[in-house]
Structure 1
């Protein structure tokens, strides 16, 4: 597989985004999952199927995976931004209970950086570190810590939501 061919398409998110923006989904309690879609991470050798919850609104992105006690092995949360985030933008782990990896991606789903993030034990958000991307990005994918490395996924690999890519 060609790891540099951009195949991530925001068109694949249209059905999910349509539901979110139409007001059909009520505000979710803290521990409820967001709508999830099937996707895959692709390197030179294989496509690895994953399930991702999609966080598109600022409220969904701000809450992220806070207060979750576990995340399924092949599950994650995809943070989608309509405008490119600067390299100094990042994520924090305030009220997040599980260690995570985060992959920062361009608009095509190409991974540009991966960071490891540890839960912040403080009850004060100001005491929690920010894990800066170090690269401009449109998408960020959080998975259980060690997920990317254990499956051979790294910088230059990509995320796809196209069913044909994920077979």
Structure 2
């Protein structure tokens, strides 16, 4: 029988990936009467990680990217396994444009005008809810300050 400290070491090694998993703060957003549970990527490390390596995303779950400054930011899908739609938003949460993104591609999907936020959701989520450019995403004013 292995020594108890060996068993503990083995357990810690097996548990390590779960402990090391990226944790993002979560906030509630609204699109009309649709509730969105958005993980928030407000610092550079979280923005770079995004939804990479995820195998699924809940029906009304997404990720809000908070940028340090307004610009024509671009997104891509390197190491992202699920198809996504991204809405680029201005300072007030108004949708500027929506782009459909295919998994594991490196095409740039860019804001049509200077954006302060990007909201990634499952592919076609915005279209299925009748959301289009010009519609405001509520709750954006509670987003944390970018770092």
TM-score range, shorter chain: 0.7 to 0.9
Deviations 1:38-66 (A, max 9, x none): 11112xxxx21110001000110011000
Instruction: State the aligned residue count.
Output: 122
Distance 2:43 2:67 in 1: 8
Structure whose CA Rg is larger: 2
Report how far residue 29 of structure 1 moved: 3.3
SS in 2 for 1:81: strand
Deviations 1:118-161 (A, max 9, x none): 0126xxxxxx2111222210000000001000011111111111
Q: Which runs of 5+ in 2 are unaligned?
A: 1-18, 141-147
Q: RMSD of the alignment, in Å?
A: 1.6
Alignment match, 2:96: 112
SS in 2 for 1:158: coil
Distance 1:134 1:158 in 2: 16
TM-score w.r.t. the length of structure 1 is 0.69
Distance 1:34 1:135 in 2: 27
Distance 2:36 2:44 in 1: 23
Q: Which has the higher contact order (CA 8 A, sep 6+)?
A: 1
Alignment match, 2:113: 135
Alignment match, 1:48: 34
Q: Which runs of 5+ in 1 are unaligned?
A: 1-27, 122-127, 163-167
Alignment match, 1:37: 27
Alignment match, 2:53: 67
